[in-house]
Amino acid sequence: NAKKTGKNKYLFFDQRMTLAFEEKIKIENILRKAIKEKNFKLLYQPIIEISTGEIACFEALLRLKNINLSPSLFIPVAEETDLILSIGRWVIKQAIKQLKKWEDKGYKNKHIAINLSPKQLYDTKLFSFLQDTFKENDIDPSMLEIEITENVLIENREEAIKILQKLKGLGITIALDDFGTGYSSLNYLTFIPVDKIKLDKSLSDKFLELRNTQVIDSLISLAHSLNLKVVAEGIEDMKQYEKLKRGGCDYIQGYLFSKPLNGELEKIYNKNFFDFIANNIS
Ligand code: C2E
Ligand code: MG
Ligand code: MG
Ligand code: MG
């Protein structure tokens, strides 16, 4: 009997492994096809400056055009297979073209933020690709923000710092994404050359509890003392917004204000969220 159970266990284990492997292959094939057929699109989610109520930046978030597959599933596969390099170049090009489109229509003061995987950061062609794309579209590099995570430090800390400094030298703003997940050693903040930190949704959620308010307030103060701006992401609730505002948080992003948008961005471009906030205060 025990023998039988043991055998079944292995069988079950094998099936799960096969399934995971097959899933990955399936996603890899979807991505290869999407690259060939240009089946990607970017959604844009507004990031609001708390002191003015205005949109400061739009974060570009990648989607497949015809398939409902979350980037938290397909981005890791793209990273593993190096497909992230060509997908990432498409994202960069698209975002800079969008900045150009806005400029041509007279909209010229909002930044676009893109997410950059560690593999992209270490790509030796990244810097010249960025320079060329800015030049082709006549866009000032300071209109672009790049969001990285602390994972860029794992492979080669010194090299990552050098590359980030070079990007900053071009005028690009660097944000440390998903802060509060992973190790998020506070020590990182003293040497990683970033301009902003983005507090992860999991941190902001905890913010509703009183004791954690003090922790996040202190985190914001610490960031400010290091000359870093603070963005809170995943804000869905007016109470969270009020607490973050009181704590001195600089920017806010979340469904409370807007989901990631598909086109029609001109309608919202100059919207001021103060009215929205005034109408929603309890
Ligand atoms: P992220 O960069 O931390 O982006 C924030 C994620 O939170 C987005 O998920 C966004 O849609 C979601 N979000 C924003 N506000 C709220 C809210 O109020 N509530 C909730 N529940 N969620 C909210 P999304 O678009 O599914 O992207 C997931 C992750 O995939 C991103 O996390 C980023 O790490 C990665 N990703 C997305 N696009 C790209 C890309 O072009 N390149 C790379 N390398 N990674 C990307
Ligand atoms: Mg991000
Ligand atoms: Mg994030
Ligand atoms: Mg995230």
Q: How far apart are CA 127 and CA 159, in angstroms?
A: 14
Cβ of 72 below 6 Å from ligand 1: yes
Residue ranges of alpha helices (H) inside 81-156 are 84-104, 118-122, 126-137, 152-155
pLDDT tens by residue, 229-244: 999 999 998 989 999 9
Token pair of 136 as six digits:
């082709």
The CA dihedral of 183, 189, 191, 194, to the nearest 10 degrees, is 110
Report pLDDT for 25.
Answer: 94
Cβ of 255 below 6 Å from ligand 1: yes
Report pLDDT for 11.
Answer: 46
Cβ of 68 below 6 Å from ligand 1: no
What single letter denotes the amino acid at residue 6? G
ipTM score for this prediction: 0.98
What is the residue-wise DSSP string for 17-32?
Answer: HHHHHHHHHHHHHHHH
Confidence of residue 91 (pLDDT cuts 50, 70, 90): very high
Residue with CA nearest ligand 1 atom 12: 234
pLDDT tens by residue, 30-82: 999 999 999 999 999 999 999 999 999 999 999 999 999 999 999 999 999 99
Ligand 1 mean position, distance from CA 62 (Å): 8
Q: Which residues contact 57 (CB under 8 A, 6 or more apart)?
A: 46, 47, 110, 111, 112, 113, 145, 251
- Kindly state the percentage of the chain with pLDDT values over 90: 76
Report pLDDT for 147.
Answer: 98
Backbone angles phi, psi at 62, to 5 degrees: -75, 140
